[in-house]
Amino acid sequence: MNSELKNEEFVLSTRPSDQNEIKSAWKLQPCPMPTITNDNEFILKTLFVSVDPYLSSGLKKSALGGDTNPIGSVQISGLVGRVIESKNSKIPVDTIVTGIMEWKRYILANGTEPLFRIVQKSTEKNTIYDKIGFSTVIGVLGMPSQTAYYGILSVANTQPSDVLVISGAAGAVGTIAGQIAKKIKGAQKVIGIAGG
């Protein structure tokens, strides 16, 4: 690996008291470059991180006394990365992966991280992601879409005669839920509530 590479991480530096202070909650700081020590490990370079509304719950001290995200801890969420070094025969260099991992520029992984999956193998070319981009893995084709899809199809069991009201219709899940209800399930009417 290139010895010129420098690693950085986002750590929780303070607990914001209101929404206006949220951008100062994290601090970007240098950290050591990862080193592969086992045959199943690989190093990936972060391409995109998912900054979802649920992350704000980790900024608050737990009402139960526990600390869900202690001050000084590295933020975690869904991300997309490209493998730059590997000793894992199933995950070679240039493979694109996703999973729940730490917000670091370079990450040591082994494929057992929560929600880990291979997005595009190093040998695959001209896939849908070459056209729409890898950011969609944690965006429109990621967790928000899956939540909307299963919510409308499995939980709500939407039928063509239904009139659906979607609260949070301007959010990541709500916008997709409305489209699925109307375009895929053919709901009679979809009403979206946004901004109050």
* pLDDT band (50, 70, 90) for residue 15: confident
Q: What is the pLDDT of residue 7?
A: 97
Identity of residue 184: I
Asked if residue 49 lies in contact with residue 99, where contact means CB atoms within 8 angstroms, the answer is no
Task: Provide the pLDDT confidence category of residue 103 given band limits of 50, 70 and 90.
Answer: very high
Which residue in 48, 56, 55 sits closest to 79, CA to CA? 48
Q: Does the 7-124 domain belong in CATH 3.40.50.800?
A: no
Query: Binning pLDDT at 50, 70 and 90, where does residue 24 land?
Result: confident
Q: What is the mean pLDDT of residues 153-177?
A: 91
Q: What is the average pLDDT across 58-75?
A: 74
Spans of all domains in the chain: 7-124, 143-193
